[in-house]
Amino acid sequence: MAHAMENFCTISEEYHIDGEVGFALPNPLENLPDVYNDWMSIAKHLPDLIESGELRERVEKLDMLSIDHLRDHKSQRLAHLVLGCITMAYVWDRGCGDVRKVLPKNIAVPYCQLSEKLQLPPILVYADCVLANWKKKDPNKPLTYENMDVLFSFRHEDCSKGFFLVSLLVEIEAASAIKEIPIIFKAMRMQELDTLRKALLKTASCLEKALQVFNQIHEHVNPQVFFNVLRIYLSGWKGNPQLSEGLMYDGFWSAAQFLQDMRMYMPPAHRNFLCSLESNPSVREFVLLKGDADLREAYDACVKALVDLRNYHLQIVTKYILIPASQKSKNETSKEPSKQENKGTGGTDLMNFLKTVRTTTQKSLLKEG
């Protein structure tokens, strides 16, 4: 019997990975059931509500709603996105340092209940703002930046469309590489070296194309606007001095130090996919064992394409976070950017984390240089 990882249909069904958009949620819902109209109204008008100073009052006046009417996965994912956006807007408001440390019960309770159901944290995560926050303008046209839009943003002209959609388009471009995984594992089992070599080269090509798509970020996202506006609403509580004790979810619990493991920010099906990959035979060990020069070259092309993506990510972080942070600190006559400004949205020290990931990837190369 063929291994489950040798069939893309099985992978797609079991791990919620789509043939066209990969880890992204295919065709996300744009509206919740009518009972949640008040949530939707706030989420759709965040820029105006924040600008007018009405956002927090509107949130505090919300009725407590049950999540029982969110009966399918897509409606639950949309609700998690909606509540995540409302939560970030409520906590940070205009981003001027007036921070709320307690999320009101009427939003905290359903948000935490829904998060438990989805096995996601009660905070805006990548799975929300990138993977589920999109729509096609014309359903009959392809998935291009020009034919897509985000469902929600925080401020007018905050670059959220550019940041979220370019990130999504990189995911979509890389999705083709996932289709090569079953071919790779089957070729290893059947000892079909030429098939394996071609699949590895195809994977490398997919990753190279994803890097080309990543380039679009320069066209659509302004570094100063990203750093000074959008980044604020993507900031988490962990390691954040403005919320040193975390956010208190009234009526539920405090989330001061939740989730040490990066994978816990992923949908559980995607976490399981990574675990399944790790439990399969090592491609690197197989290629080493075979001693085939062409196969080794194809494998290294694959790893190098991933290293190039890691390197490019480091360049983006430098341009969009480190340089603006340095400029801000100079304007404020302090000596260096604060530690918080050099942290990622989950509180990680970005450069150290990304450099460690890149180094780990580089070590997988069979040939140095």
* Span 168-214, pLDDT tens digits: 999 999 999 999 999 999 999 999 999 999 999 999 999 999 999 99
In a domain, 316, yes or no: yes
Residue 272 has pLDDT above 70, yes or no: yes
Residue 2 has pLDDT above 60, yes or no: no
How confident is residue 124, by pLDDT bands cut at 50, 70 and 90?
Answer: very high
pLDDT digits (tens, 9 = 90+) for 234-260: 988 877 888 888 899 999 865 544 655
**pLDDT the model gives residue 267:** 95
In a domain, 234, yes or no: yes
In a domain, 352, yes or no: yes
* Average pLDDT estimate for 103-118: 96
- For the chain, the average pLDDT equals 91
How confident is residue 264, by pLDDT bands cut at 50, 70 and 90?
Answer: confident
Which CATH number goes with the domain that contains 195?
1.20.58.480
User: How many structural domains comprise the chain?
Assistant: 1
313 is in an annotated binding site: yes
How confident is residue 369, by pLDDT bands cut at 50, 70 and 90?
Answer: very low
pTM, full prediction: 0.92
* Average pLDDT estimate for 133-151: 97
In a domain, 9, yes or no: no
**pLDDT the model gives residue 135:** 98
Residue 323 has pLDDT above 60, yes or no: yes
Smallest CA-to-CA distance from 174 within 313, 365, 357 is with 313
**pLDDT the model gives residue 335:** 47
In a domain, 245, yes or no: yes
**pLDDT the model gives residue 239:** 74
In a domain, 3, yes or no: no
How confident is residue 350, by pLDDT bands cut at 50, 70 and 90?
Answer: confident
How confident is residue 349, by pLDDT bands cut at 50, 70 and 90?
Answer: confident
* Average pLDDT estimate for 283-294: 96
In a domain, 4, yes or no: no
**pLDDT the model gives residue 338:** 54
Per the structure, the complete domain to which residue 150 belongs is given by 15-329+336-364
pLDDT digits (tens, 9 = 90+) for 291-316: 999 999 999 999 999 999 999 999 99
In a domain, 321, yes or no: yes
